[in-house]
Structure 1
Amino acid sequence: MASTESADDDGSAPLAGPRAASAAQRAGGRRLLRAAARRARYPMALLAVLTAIRVAAMLATPAMLARAVDAVREDGNVGGAMAGLAVALAVAASADTAKDVVGSYCGSGITAWLRHRLIGRILELGVPGLHRFPAGDALSRLTESAGGPAAFPALLLSVVAALGTGLGAVTALALIDWTLAAAFAVGVPPAILVIRLFVVRASEPFARYQRLQAAIATRLLDARQGARTIRSAGTAAREARRILRPLPELRQAGHLTWTVQGQVSWRLSLLAPAIQILVVAVAGTRLATGAISTGELVAAVSYTSMALGVVALFDTFVTLLNCEVGAGRIQELLGADPAVRPPPCPMRLPDGPGELRLREVTVRVGDRTVLDRLDLTVPAGTCVAVVGVSGTGKSVLVSTIGRLLDPAGGSVELDGVPVTDVALPALRRAVAYAFERPALLGATVHDTIAYARPDATREQVRRAARAASADDFVRALPAGYDTPLDRAPLSGGELQRLGLARAALTDARVLVLDDATSSLDTATEMKVTRALRRLLAHRTSLVVARRPATAARADLVAWLDAGRIRALAPHADLWPDPAYQAVFAVDGDGDLGAGSPDSGAATRPDTVEPRTRA
């Protein structure tokens, strides 16, 4: 489990300067929303036209109503007035319906665009991104946060429409009688002040609420990944408490948000009728003096209600603020630096035998220097075992070869070309990896083996599976190679053999096995290794080795110690050194006898759940 040991390593702790952080996040959210609006400019233009038509029809409705009232009182053209009123209402309803349809289309397009960008950036961030944005946090941004901005275009135009309608209504009041517009204007400054107060006070609680939701999701996913460990340890109750520990803070943030919203809401709920009463009182006085007609009084009441729709925008402002906060969380992830950047001017990787050279490579993880000016040359076509006690950086070292991460200093060269100067697709074709816990990607067993080569034929896939000693157990599955992955229960060793088959299928000049045979028993490992070496003859390979027998089968052993290569020599030459033997006593299975060529020690492979995460 990633976070079982630490309860506060997932962002649930209070942040320094929450108001400043919230302001910065909202600024990023506004930039992203502007970019989304530019991308959806054509649907938004159509929305704007429909909104303008609806506003015009709504503003015409009270005037048509006043005409109809006066026509009835004065025995005028009632039919014509009623027809005009019906047309205005029909146009408003039609524009409103069309606006909803176009708004939904526009919103879904923005959501798809944001989620595509988020998924791409999450994958670009690589392993370092998993530490900065844990799974639960990234998932909440991908789902809840990315779904919020979908409503932004419609909400924004609703605000514009309401403001336009309000301005038009106030103008209509002024045309009826200037005193009516003046009476309405008295209540505008207090309404603006109240809404501004809400935006200032509610921004940080909104942002904190979303962060705490992500923290709970992260803890829950961590616990799901380690469900068997929790159950076997009998710590389910303690784990539930750990998952739910941010709840009091979540409740506090939610309570503060609702408190601020309630304070603003009751002020506005009192202000709106007060303004309406004031305008109606002035209108009644003007009617009594003969300054306006009865129809104009009815129109004034309608226009006042219409203008007060601006006050009712409070709920829309709440939703817009949520959109802004969610967009800020998305922008925070999109703005994160990827683990590996493509070269600005890629160099062509020449055809070569696969010679590797690491020059003064330095890698830091946090404040710790894992590799310290490391030098290593791997001759072309050589199998090199990388050994060292746990924590010395074996996986970090091999990760620099295919640019799964970049060193802070030094260079890694493949056939004389720095890997940082090679286009990433070309480098991925040149360097293939097999991991300790390979991810099951694709729909079927065939798909997961052919993941890096989707155009591979069934025969090519089977040949790779045979090389990894996987063909027999795959054909024994219910549908063989076409068995869906969720219906293929696999042991740890079988899973690793699928990963090895996937790596064997690639036409790579360098093969990296990052502890990729740890779940194989010794006999199977020897069989797989012999098959792979036949298949990958004349190709360079690096094997992260934890067993002496694995190191013994390599041409050379790179002994990693204190961030540097302590020795590069055959296993047989290093074995007499007690310090070298101690590496396996500490980091391997403790069976020093396994280092001899005749060793037949075997261990039973562990079993894992059907779908194993990388």
Structure 2
Amino acid sequence: MRLLWAFARPYSKVLVSALLLSLLVSAMALATPLVTQWVLETVAVGGSLRDPVLVLIALLILGAVVSWFQWVMLGKLAEDVVYDARRAMITRYLGARVFDLGRRGPGQLVTRVTSDTLLLNEAASNSIVGLVNRSIMVLGSLALMATLDLVLLGTTLASVLLVGLVFVVLMPQISRVEERSQASLGDLGEELTGTMRAIKTVKSSTAEARSFAELMRHVGESRRWSLKSVRIQAAAWTIGMAGVNAAVIAVLALGAYRVSTGEMTVSVLVAFLLYVWGLAGPVLELTEDLTALQSGLAAAARIGQIQELPVESELSDVSIVPATQPVEEDAQRRQDLPAPGAGSEPPAGWDGPALEFQGVTAGYGADLDPAVIDLDLAIPPRGHIALVGTSGAGKTTVLSLMQRFLEPSAGTLRLFGTPYAELSHAEVRGALAYVEQETPLVPGTLRENLLFSNPAASDQAVAEVLERLRLAEKVSSLPEGLDTRLTETNLSGGQRQRVALARALLAAPRILLLDEATAQIDGITEAAVHRTIRDHATRASVITVAHRLSTVIDADRILVMHAGRIIAAGTHAELLRHNALYQDLVGSLGLGPGSGAPRL
């Protein structure tokens, strides 16, 4: 409820205005039976119907106008709530720590932003106003009934209290079932996302039937919980309607008897019946509002889990608190963020290491063994360093520490002599550029991918790097050149790797990190890539996690890792002569002694 109110609170004035309009509509609805009684009494005495009919017409027109304004106001409020919720979650996603975010599947994260926010919007806008308004409508009707006939009021109250008791019992069940339904929907999104990413593997393995069965299992689970929610809601609606109808029958029977005995007039009975019939709408709408509120509370609970994601730094530490003027605040926030590369230049006259590890220990959980242990490492401001070792040696962990994707549990990292703790994440990453082994493409065109790390790069710089990486011919063959929107099919794996490398080079980083950036590239193209990397290494640091012998031979210095530690360092020739593990690693490629050992 606190989170739900957090999204509604910035729009409290709108909520109050909508509530006042809603109450005005309710007041006019409550006045209608009294005016009807006026009409009947006027007919009974043979008076003029002009005034009561004009009042009825005025109530009709005014009610329609006020209702229109209320609907528009609540519709805008609902969209604002959705905007704020999505903005807050996306901000938290982008500011979260990489590995903490990775523990939640992308399907679950997407579901929070898409379907959960839609449930939240109804609860935070229409349901809040509707609950208050409909409750006042019911209480107002009962109060006016009391002025007409207390005996019939008692009969009506018995039905209303029965309906209220049913709501108290059923509504919490709806909340629990809706939460399970949304969780099942998130599981479906997770499974479908993974299947679509691996669609080639699915088809090549002729596993379509198995994938279909697994996906439909999640579809069926979501349907099962949704149907359970439908049955509970149907019970609430049915009992609510039955209660109102029972009240109408009881009032009609008892009222007719009282009219026959002269205890009340026909006009009073008609007015009372109109109020009882009028209760049907508010009671059933209360059911709908309470159902929507319970669904919204379930969605709010799932959205609230996003608040548990740890953020990286003060620049990304944005809690899920909506902005009253989100667009303007977002624009201001973008202006406040440091520019790419800001704070990444070494101090004037600096001649020390570009990046330094001092006694660094780090891991991926308190209950897991450290991935690197007491690591000391100094990266020179220029040159090419290669990290080699068997799987699990800690190579990728070193790159993650450099980029602050992972924080050390002990020891210190320094960038140009400044401890990481004194730098923001943006300042650290401004000195780095990273090329992943998977080389994912960012959504958008080829130009947007190339300029993603440095939007200010010139057309000439783009053309030069495309030429050096042998991509110029491919670009010219695309239907819209650099403005072609990239898909999984219009670039090969090797071309995607070169696009990622081009993006990193256009950022002009002081430290270039490569996680086997040539794994999918042919020999001729690889030579061009290595020339480009060697050229960059003459003026900056290049650090490579290496799995290919060609990358190792090119490096100025090779660091051999084993069990989270650096056990040897030297050139290819030196290590081949003096280090047994390195000999085994090279031998695993069939190019030296020790054949049969693990790959690099």
Same-fold status (TM-score > 0.5): yes
The alignment's TM-score, normalised by the length of structure 2, stands at: 0.87
Q: Residue 68 of structure 2 corresponds to which residue in structure 1?
A: 97
The Cα of 1:356 is off from its aligned counterpart by: 0.9
CA distance in 1, matches of 2:447, 2:217: 43
Question: Which residue of structure 2 aligns with residue 222 of structure 1?
Answer: 194
8 Å CA contact retained: 1:467, 1:535: no
Matches within 5 A, 1:237-248: 237-246=209-218
* Paired letter, 2:300: A
Q: Which segment drifts farther, 292-301 or 262-271? A: 262-271
Which residue of 1 is the match for residue 529 of structure 2?
528
Match of 1:270 in 2: 242
Deviation at 1:169, TM superposition (A): 0.7
Conserved 8 A contact 2:586-2:592: no
What is residue 265 of structure 2 aligned with on the other side? Answer: 293
Structure 2: how far apart are the matches of 1:41 and 1:467?
Answer: 58
Q: Distance in 2 between matches of 1:581 and 1:186?
A: 89
CA contact 1:437–1:495 (8 Å) conserved in 2: no
- The amino acid across from 1:69 in the alignment is L
Shift of 1:211: 1.0
- Secondary structure at the counterpart of residue 490 of structure 1: coil
One-letter code aligned to 1:50: L
Rounded to whole Å, the distance in 2 between the matches of 1:505 and 1:488 is 24
Deviation, structure 1 residue 208? 1.2
SS in 2 for 1:375: strand
Aligned to 2:170: 198
Counterpart amino acid of 2:533?
A: L
Q: Which amino acid in the other structure matches residue 411 of structure 2?
A: G
* Distance in structure 1 (CA, Å) of the matches to 2:484 and 2:163: 64
- Answering whether residue 303 of structure 2 is matched by residue 330 of structure 1, we say yes
1:212-611 mapped onto 2 (5 Å cutoff): 212-246=184-218, 249-312=221-284, 313-338=286-311, 342=315, 351-352=346-347, 355-366=354-365, 367-368=367-368, 369-486=370-487, 489-576=490-577, 577-584=579-586, 590-592=589-591
Distance 1:481 1:309, change over 3 A: closer
Amino acid in the other structure paired with 1:323: G
Relative distance call for 1:404 and 1:467 in structure 2 (3 A) is: farther
Which residues of 2 match residues 107-122 of structure 1 at below 5 A? 107-122=78-93
488 and 256 in structure 1: CA distance in 2 versus 1, 3 angstrom threshold? closer
Cα distance in 2 between the residues matched to 1:241 and 1:393: 38
User: Which residue number in structure 1 is paired with residue 20 of structure 2?
Assistant: 49
Gapped regions of structure 2 (runs ≥ 5) = 318-337, 595-600
Counterpart of 1:600? Answer: none
> In the alignment, which residue of structure 1 is the partner of 2:57?
86
Using the alignment, how far apart are the partners of 1:65 and 1:188 within structure 2? 24
**Alpha carbons of structure 1 residues 342 and 371: separation in structure 2 relative to 1, 3 Å:** farther
1:516-564 CA distance string (max 9 Å, x none): 2211234422322222332453212211111122112111112111011
**Residues 67-122 of structure 1, C-alpha deviations (whole Å, 9 max, x = no match):** 12211221223111100011112222222222222221111111111112222222
**Structure 1 pair 181–421 and aligned structure 2 pair: CA distance change class (3 A):** farther
Note if contact 1:435-1:516 (Cα within 8 Å) is conserved in structure 2: yes
CA contact (8 A) 1:361 1:411 kept: yes
Secondary structure of 1:485's aligned partner: coil
Query: Whole-Å Cα distance in 2 between the matches of residues 90 and 292 of structure 1?
Result: 32
Distance (Å, rounded) in 1 between the aligned partners of 2:118 and 2:227: 23
Q: What CA deviation, in whole Å up to 9, does each residue of 1:169-215 have, x standing for no partner? A: 11111112233333322233322221111123332222112111211
Which stretch shows the higher mean deviation, 123-132 or 83-92?
123-132
Tell me the SS of whatever aligns to 1:384. strand
Aligned AA (2:364): V
| Partner SS for 2:514 | strand
In structure 1, the gaps of 5 or more residues are 1-29, 596-614
1:126 CA displacement: 4.7
For 1:95 and 1:114, how far apart are their aligned partners in 2?
Answer: 29
Task: Provide the C-alpha distance between the structure 2 equivalents of 1:480 and 1:348, rounded to a whole number of angstroms.
Answer: 34
Tell me if structure 2 keeps the 8 A contact 1:166–1:308. no
Q: Is the 8 A contact 1:129 1:339 kept in 2?
A: no
1:137 partner amino acid: Q
Q: Which amino acid aligns with 1:75?
A: G
Counterparts of 1:108 and 1:531, CA distance in 2: 50
SS at match of 1:209: helix
Separation (CA, whole Å) in 1 of partners of 2:489 and 2:481: 10
Q: Distance in 2 between matches of 1:594 and 1:111?
A: 63
Q: CA deviation at 1:506?
A: 0.8
How far did residue 249 of structure 1 move? 4.2
SS state at 1:592 partner: coil
Are the structure 2 counterparts of residues 472 and 247 from structure 1 closer, same or farther at C-alpha, using a change threshold of 3 Å?
closer
Whole-Å separation in 1 of the counterparts to 2:273 and 2:213: 57
The amino acid across from 1:240 in the alignment is F
Counterparts of 1:31-46 in structure 2, within 5 Å, are: 31-46=2-17
Greater mean alpha carbon deviation, residues 435-444 or residues 505-514: 435-444
What residue identity is the alignment partner of 1:475? Answer: S
Cα RMSD, aligned residues only: 2.6
Contact preservation (8 Å) 1:340, 1:406: no
Contact 1:343 1:423 in 2 (8 A): no
Q: Who is 1:157 aligned against?
A: 129
| SS of residue paired to 1:456 | coil
Q: Distance in 1 between matches of 2:138 and 2:235?
A: 24
SS at the partner of 1:433?
strand
Distance 2:175 2:298 in 1: 8
Does structure 2 conserve the Cα–Cα contact (< 8 Å) formed by 1:477 and 1:488?
Answer: no
Secondary structure, counterpart of 1:121 in structure 2? helix
The 2-side partners of 1:183 and 1:327 are apart by 39
Query: Which residue of structure 2 aligns with residue 67 of structure 1?
Result: 38
Judge conservation of contact 2:389–2:585 (CA < 8 Å) in 1: yes
Give the counterpart letter for 2:354 in structure 1: E
Offset of residue 342 of structure 1: 4.8
Question: Number of paired residues?
Answer: 562
